[in-house]
Structures are given as C-alpha cells and as structure tokens.
A and B are shown apart, each in its own frame.
Chain A
Amino acid sequence: MNSNDNRSDNKEYFNYLAREKYFSDHIVNSSRSMISIINRSYVYEKVNSTFCEAQKGVEESIVGKSLSDVWGDETFNKRIKPNIDKCFSGATVSYEASFNIPQAGKRFFEVIFRPFPAESGEITHLLAETFDITDFKLTQKFASDKEEEFRRFETNLPIGFLRCSPEGMIIHANRAFLIIMDCGNETDIHKVNLRNLYTDKSLFDLHLKHLMDNKPKTFGRVPLVTCKGNDITCRISGFMTVDEHETPLFLDFSFEDSSRELMLENRLLQAQKLETIGALAGGIAHDFNNILTTISGYSELLQNDLPDSSPHTGNVARILAAVAKARSLINQMLTFSRQVEQEKVTVNVCDVLKETIGFVRSALPSHIKIKSNIRIKKATVFADPTQLFRVFLNLMTNAMQAMEERAGTISVSVALVKGKIVQKELNKDIVADEYALVTVRDTGKGMDTSLLRRIFEPFFTTREVGRGSGLGLSVVHGIVTEMGGEVMVSSKLNEGSVFYVYLPLSKDFEISHMSPEARRRILFITGNRYESRILTLALESAGYDITQSSDPNHLEKMLSGTKNKPNLVLYMIESEQIRTDDLIEQFSLHDIRIPCILITDSNQMQEEEKLVTSGIVKEHLIKPVSLREILSAIKASI
C-alpha cells in the first residue's frame, strides 16, 4: 500500500466517519426527547438540540455545566443525584419527574438514565434521556378527573342506575338504586337478578324484548318489590349495549322512585273527592233540615192538639224522637263537610286522650286490651274539646271493630313532632312550629289498599248495612282537617292498622286571667261520667270553675255550706232519670235563685216541661248540643 493509497483510504474513512456522525447527530438532534451525556462529575458533556431548545440555550452554553447549575442544587441533590449514582453502579434507572422549565412552566418528564460504558467497560458516563410527558399526563389527569366526576355524579344522583347482564344479573348499581330498592350494599346486589325485583316477572321479559332494537326506552311506572319485600313503583328507562356482532353485552337501566309521587297524586285525588262529597253532604243536609223542620213542626201541632189520654201521644213522641236522630246524623254529615261551628278553646290533647281512653276502657270487650302510652304532659291545641273527644273516640271504636273477631290490643300514644318534620312527612304546608302526633294502633284484621283509599269517605263502611252509619272516620277527617291537622293511615292485611293524627300545637296561654276565687263556679250534675268529663275540660278551658257530680244531692251539700256556692247549675241527664220532684223540692227548700241549665236528649217529656214551667230551668238544651250553644246559654244565664 503506498502513501497515496494510504492517504486516500484515510480520507475516505474520515468522510465515512463524518457522514456517520452527521447521521447520528441528525438522529439525536431530531429526537423529541432531551438526550444528554453526563460524566462522573455530574457535568453535561453532550446535549442534543431538543435539550437546548427546552433550556433556551445553545449546546456550548450547556455543555460543561454541572447538573446542579442547570436544575438547581436542591433538585439535583434530592432527586437527580441518587438516580444517577444508581445508574453509575450499573443499573438502568427510570422515573417520572416534574421540572420547571424556563418560559414553559411546570412540565412532566419521564427520565431514563442508561450506563454508557467506555471501551474498557468502566462506566465513565451515562446517557440521559428525558421525554416530555406533560400532554400525556394532562390527558390522563383529565380522564381520571372526568371519571371521578362521573362517579360522584352517579353516586349522588337521586336516580337509581343499574347495569346488568343480558340475563338480568346485576353487574353494578349506584347508591340511589340501593336506597330505592332497600338492598344493603353493592356486594349484596351482585347476587340479585333484576327480574326478581319485578312484581310481574313477565313484564321484565317484555321489557328485554323491547330493548332488543338497541334504542333507549322508557317504561313508565313499573311495580317492583324491594330487596326487603316491600311494594314500590319506579319509572324505569333502559337501553342495551351490543358488540360488533350485535351480541348483547349489557343493559343499563335508570330507576326513579315514583311511589311518593303516586301517593301524592292519590292523596290529591282523595282530597278532591272528599271535598266534593263534603259539598254534596252540605247541600243534602240543608234540604233535609228543611224537611225535618216541617215534619217536626206538624208533629208538634198534632201533639198540642192531642189530649194527654190519647193513644196517639206516644206515636207522635216517637216521630219527634226520630227527627232528633235524623238531626244528629245530619250534624255528623256537616261535621265531615266541616260546616259545624265549633267553640274552640286551648285544650291539652293529653287530657282529652286520657278521658277518651277511660271511656273506651269501660266499654271494652274482654278480648280486647287498650294500652296507653302518654309520656308527655302537655300538648296544647286550639280545638273544640268535644270534637277532639269525638276524633279519638271514633278512632278507638274503629280499632275495636277491626278486632271484633279476634283478641288484640289497641295502643294509643302521643308525641310532639317538629313542624319541619311534619312538612317533610306529609308534603304539606305547615301551620304550626310543632305538632302533636296521636297514634292509634290496632292488631286487627287490617285493610287492603283499595279499602284504605276509601275509608274517609262518608257512608263508606265495611260493616253490614244497618250497623254503623259509615260516618265515623269521615267525621275524624273533617274535624282534624278543620283544625289544620292531618290524619294518615297505614295498614297491613291481617296485621292491623295505624292511624296518625297530626294536630298543630297552639301557643299556650293562660286559660283564665281570673284567680280561682274570682272564677264563676258551675255545679255540673250528670249521670254520664266520661262524656261529661270532656265537657268539664272544655268548660274549664273556657275559664269556669267546675264541680262535677253524679249525685243530685250534691247540690244540697254545696248549698248548705256558705262558701263556694255555685253561680250556675248545669244538669245533664237522660230524660228518664230526671227526678223532677226531688229537684223542685231542693230548689224551693233552699229558696235557690241559682240559674239552672238543663241538657236532655229530648224535649217531649213532661218532667222536663215541668222543670221549665216551674221556672227552675232557665234554659233547656236538647242533644246534640254544641259546646258553643252551652257556653252561650251559660253566659246568658249568669
């Protein structure tokens, strides 16, 4: 080989190397990764153009600089150096890091350090490759944020969401679904087939069939059974997802609980119905009262004309007694349609309830027990106590009738409930901050839904014709609604019913400003202990001082003392039990000028007539008599 050849060979080899360097430089510099070679003194020996661009510099300004110059002492010592040292000991190291890049702000990188051994095999340098993964990171974060957002949305949605297999096995359900269907936690639901939650299983099959065309469907209100076995109605929508071969993959369903909506609709319908019947009843009552007046008027004429010895006297009295009965029935009808004027006073619900329980207990057949749970002392409402008595009496009577054929217990309790809770519970505007909730529970035969829907309608009765007017519960409804309260009922067939009466509490003010001494005293003589206790409560609420007695001789005792003489005698007694002569004797014996009011159930008895003509009785009221009438008679007499 001559020197010329040698030179030309060298030149060619040099050109070859130059071309190779050009290529490799080109590859290295056109890479989107930052590539650098670092020596054992942690100094950059070579960097590519991407590195320079990122650092806003040129190769010359970076090469020769230490890593701590470029990235700062802290970053270098804490995060870079440990990895580099690991790499110098032979390992390839990769990690993710974020750096602040001049003018680009915070960027995320994947950093890889590879050992770059010299020909001797000694690791004198390492190759650092740094990929900017900021965009990838941002996309990943966006996706996970979105997923989290959706999960939160799905979890908190009041609508139940469910995904199931084409066979109906539940794959996933959100929290709302678990709550609506009363299904415990999500793991429990995975064993459940949606088909089993349908009341009508064939309806589920039908829904599946409808979804086969891959279009979203809404199925309206569907009757379902919750995991605990309760009936519920949901508005269901769904759609099916299929793969590229049209094979069903899964089904998605949404569930909206429409039970409440249904209940409110029913209740509104019910209220409208009762309102209509009420108006009708009011109209009928008006016409009947006219007719009854004509009947009783002519009967009285007849009675006046008949000599006492006439065999017809008794018959006419019977006509008049029938008129009185009809009048009482019409009064109940009017109570239902809220057309009876009431004398309202502040009264303690607990007192009235206790009186009613006492009254019912005395009439209870041996196979029925009554349990009272009146823990609170006071629940003051603004009401006519006689009407309130009627409400509780009718509810307890109803409970008794529900247990006619079997032994059972009536449980009565009273509690105070905050208005806000009542509003939530009843979905109704509230009229007071607090309510008394009276609960009357029986263990009787219960009622089915169709029965429940109608129980407050007047004349609706499950008893055979002629037994009960069917007005009892409608009267309860009328009185309670008139008070601004609400009566609700829940029932299970063969288990019993519960009636809930919500009564708005009234501000508790002093019953009477007068001292007990200054209050008017009324001696109340009556045979009927319980009915009259209610009247006593009412009169006491109206500010009178009442002494109640079933002993007509009580008058004598009271009069013989000088103190505490009554200002008025209220005499409420069955017509047959009046001992007129005794009474007249007592009054005349003591030269009594105390006014006396007589309340009886008919005005056709001679005894009563005698009392009125003797001048002892100032007012004679005939049952049914309202508290208002009694109070105005008392006011007029004292």
Chain B
Amino acid sequence: MAGILIVEDENDLREMLKVSLSRRKYTVLEASNGKDAIVHFKPAVTDLVITDLIMPEEDGLKVIMRLREIKPSIKIIAISGGGKAGPASYLNLAKALGADAVYSKPFSVNEMIKKIGEMLNVEQG
C-alpha cells in the first residue's frame, strides 16, 4: 500500500490524520517538523506528503521544495491554518512551489482522503 508522510507540529492533529489514513490501509510515516521530514525522508516508501506550512525548524515550503528535488514524482498536499499573512497566501505560495493540493484548516478529512485516493490512483494509472 502507498506510503504517506505526515509533517505536522501539532501532535493531536497529526495523530488524527494518522488514525484516519491508517484505517484506509495507507502506511503512515510521521515528522513533527520540517527539518525531521527532510532529514529522515524515505523516497522509496513515500508516495505522498501531507505537510503543514508553518512549523518550527524548517517550514513547510522548504519541505515541498526539498522533497520535490529528492523525488520529483512525489504528490504533495499542503495544509495551513494561517499565520501572520493568513492561510490563503501561504497556501498560494505552496501551490506555486508545486503542492498538488492545498487545504485550509479546518478541512474535511473525508474530502482529503477522497482526494488522496484520486491522486494516488492517477499515479498508478
């Protein structure tokens, strides 16, 4: 089954995503900040990355750029709940940097899981 890396500094949220995705039989990998995500990235077993944008250490935008470099075929979903400049402008930036889908918190997990299914199917197809 496809592997999904969740990069999110908020533990509860990360745990929730992990539970939801594990039930759909995805292999879930976790990182609690951008730096860990980049350093411990396993391209062979990771098909998709869900990353928060505002995080300690390296931020989500850096994660998107670096992981794209390491594995160009990787699918990326950016999520954000705002910050100094608001969620939308960060998400737009993420999109411009190559995120395939973006979600503004709070989002519907069902919707996201549906999207993930589509994204990974397309790749397999």
Q: Are B106 and A293 in contact (CB under 8 A)?
A: yes
Q: Tell me the chain B residues, 34-55 only, with Cβ under 8 Å from chain A.
A: 54
* Prevailing SS type, chain A contact patch: helix
A291 within 8 A of B: yes
- Shortest distance from the beta carbon of A84 to any chain B beta carbon, whole Å: 97
A279 within 8 A of B: yes
> Hey, what's the 0/1 contact readout for B99-119 against A, CB within 8 Å counting as 1?
000001111111100000000
A298 within 8 A of B: yes
- Residues of chain A within 8 A of B16, CB atoms compared: 293-294, 297-298, 301
Segment touching B, from A2-10, A30-38, A334-342? A334-342
- Shortest distance from the beta carbon of A76 to any chain B beta carbon, whole Å: 93
Please, how many angstroms separate the alpha-carbon atoms of A288 and B87 in the complex? 13
- Shortest distance from the beta carbon of B10 to any chain A beta carbon, whole Å: 4
**Identity of the chain B residue whose Cβ is nearest the Cβ of A609 in the assembled complex:** B110
Q: Are A290 and B23 in contact (CB under 8 A)?
A: no
Given contacts A290-B81, A340-B88, 13 further A-B contacts (CB under 8 A): A289-B104, A289-B105, A289-B106, A292-B105, A293-B79, A293-B81, A296-B107, A300-B109, A300-B110, A301-B20, A340-B86, A603-B108, A603-B111
Q: Are B109 and A292 in contact (CB under 8 A)?
A: no
Q: Which of B12, B54, B87, B105 has the most CB of A within 10 A?
A: B105
Which of B17, B86, B110 sits near A341, CB closer than 8 Å? B86
- Residues of chain B within 8 A of A287, CB atoms compared: 81
- Shortest distance from the beta carbon of A305 to any chain B beta carbon, whole Å: 9
Q: Are A292 and B83 in contact (CB under 8 A)?
A: no
Q: Are A289 and B108 in contact (CB under 8 A)?
A: no
B73 within 8 A of A: no
Q: Nearest 4 CB-CB pairs, A to B?
A: A341-B88, A289-B81, A339-B86, A292-B106
Q: Tell me the chain A residues, 597-638 only, with Cβ under 8 Å from chain B.
A: 603, 622, 626, 628
- Residues of chain A within 8 A of B104, CB atoms compared: 289
**Identity of the chain A residue whose Cβ is nearest the Cβ of B83 in the assembled complex:** A286
B84 within 8 A of A: yes
Please, how many angstroms separate the alpha-carbon atoms of A281 and B10 in the complex? 19
Q: Tell me the chain A residues, 270-306 only, with Cβ under 8 Å from chain B.
A: 279, 282, 285-298, 300-301, 304
A420 within 8 A of B: no
A327 within 8 A of B: yes
- Shortest distance from the beta carbon of A314 to any chain B beta carbon, whole Å: 17
Q: Are A290 and B83 in contact (CB under 8 A)?
A: no
Q: Are B81 and A297 in contact (CB under 8 A)?
A: no
Q: Are A339 and B108 in contact (CB under 8 A)?
A: no
- Shortest distance from the beta carbon of A384 to any chain B beta carbon, whole Å: 12
B13 within 8 A of A: yes
Please, how many angstroms separate the alpha-carbon atoms of A297 and B81 in the complex? 14
Please, how many angstroms separate the alpha-carbon atoms of A288 and B85 in the complex? 16
B70 within 8 A of A: no
Q: Given A294-B12, A297-B17, does the pair A286, B82 have CB atoms closer than 8 Å?
A: yes
**Identity of the chain A residue whose Cβ is nearest the Cβ of B52 in the assembled complex:** A290
- Shortest distance from the beta carbon of B7 to any chain A beta carbon, whole Å: 14
Q: Given A293-B107, A300-B108, does the pair A279, B13 have CB atoms closer than 8 Å?
A: no
Q: Are A341 and B105 in contact (CB under 8 A)?
A: no
Q: Are B23 and A301 in contact (CB under 8 A)?
A: yes
CB contacts between A and B, total, < 8 Å: 85
6 contacts between A and B (CB under 8 A): A290-B13, A290-B105, A293-B13, A297-B109, A300-B20, A300-B108
Please, how many angstroms separate the alpha-carbon atoms of A628 and B88 in the complex? 10
Q: Are B82 and A285 in contact (CB under 8 A)?
A: yes
Which of A282, A294, A341 sits near B84, CB closer than 8 Å? A282
Report the contact-size class of chain A (Cβ under 8 Å from the partner): 20 to 34
Q: Given A290-B10, A301-B19, A341-B89, does the pair A282, B105 have CB atoms closer than 8 Å?
A: no
- Shortest distance from the beta carbon of A440 to any chain B beta carbon, whole Å: 27
Which of B19, B23, B54 sits near A286, CB closer than 8 Å? B54
- Residues of chain A within 8 A of B107, CB atoms compared: 293, 296
Please, how many angstroms separate the alpha-carbon atoms of A603 and B106 in the complex? 13
- Residues of chain A within 8 A of B19, CB atoms compared: 298, 301
- Shortest distance from the beta carbon of B31 to any chain A beta carbon, whole Å: 16
- Residues of chain B within 8 A of A286, CB atoms compared: 54, 81-83
- Residues of chain A within 8 A of B88, CB atoms compared: 340-341, 626, 628
Q: Are A294 and B20 in contact (CB under 8 A)?
A: no
**Identity of the chain B residue whose Cβ is nearest the Cβ of A292 in the assembled complex:** B106
Please, how many angstroms separate the alpha-carbon atoms of A326 and B106 in the complex? 10
Q: Are A279 and B84 in contact (CB under 8 A)?
A: yes
A323 within 8 A of B: yes
Please, how many angstroms separate the alpha-carbon atoms of A298 and B15 in the complex? 10
Please, how many angstroms separate the alpha-carbon atoms of A297 and B13 in the complex? 8
- Residues of chain A within 8 A of B23, CB atoms compared: 301
Q: Are A282 and B83 in contact (CB under 8 A)?
A: yes
Q: Are B83 and A304 in contact (CB under 8 A)?
A: no
Q: Are A341 and B92 in contact (CB under 8 A)?
A: yes
**Identity of the chain B residue whose Cβ is nearest the Cβ of A284 in the assembled complex:** B82
Q: Which of B12, B82, B110 has the most CB of A within 10 A?
A: B82
- Shortest distance from the beta carbon of B9 to any chain A beta carbon, whole Å: 9
Please, how many angstroms separate the alpha-carbon atoms of A221 and B5 in the complex? 65
Please, how many angstroms separate the alpha-carbon atoms of A294 and B15 in the complex? 9
Q: Tell me the chain A residues, 316-344 only, with Cβ under 8 Å from chain B.
A: 323, 326-327, 334, 338-341
Q: Given A289-B105, A293-B16, does the pair A282, B110 have CB atoms closer than 8 Å?
A: no
Please, how many angstroms separate the alpha-carbon atoms of A301 and B10 in the complex? 19
- Residues of chain B within 8 A of A300, CB atoms compared: 20, 108-110
Please, how many angstroms separate the alpha-carbon atoms of A292 and B79 in the complex? 13
- Residues of chain A within 8 A of B111, CB atoms compared: 603
**Identity of the chain B residue whose Cβ is nearest the Cβ of A622 in the assembled complex:** B108
Please, how many angstroms separate the alpha-carbon atoms of A48 and B64 in the complex? 113
- Residues of chain A within 8 A of B109, CB atoms compared: 296-297, 300-301
Q: Are A296 and B108 in contact (CB under 8 A)?
A: yes
Please, how many angstroms separate the alpha-carbon atoms of A282 and B92 in the complex? 18
Please, how many angstroms separate the alpha-carbon atoms of A614 and B47 in the complex? 29
- Shortest distance from the beta carbon of B40 to any chain A beta carbon, whole Å: 23
Please, how many angstroms separate the alpha-carbon atoms of A338 and B83 in the complex? 11
**Identity of the chain A residue whose Cβ is nearest the Cβ of B86 in the assembled complex:** A339
Q: Are A294 and B82 in contact (CB under 8 A)?
A: no
- Shortest distance from the beta carbon of A618 to any chain B beta carbon, whole Å: 13
Q: Are B13 and A294 in contact (CB under 8 A)?
A: yes
**Identity of the chain A residue whose Cβ is nearest the Cβ of B88 in the assembled complex:** A341
- Shortest distance from the beta carbon of B94 to any chain A beta carbon, whole Å: 13
Which of A288, A304, A338 sits near B110, CB closer than 8 Å? A304
- Shortest distance from the beta carbon of A313 to any chain B beta carbon, whole Å: 14
- Shortest distance from the beta carbon of A602 to any chain B beta carbon, whole Å: 10
- Residues of chain A within 8 A of B15, CB atoms compared: 294
Please, how many angstroms separate the alpha-carbon atoms of A80 and B81 in the complex? 101
- Residues of chain A within 8 A of B81, CB atoms compared: 285-290, 293
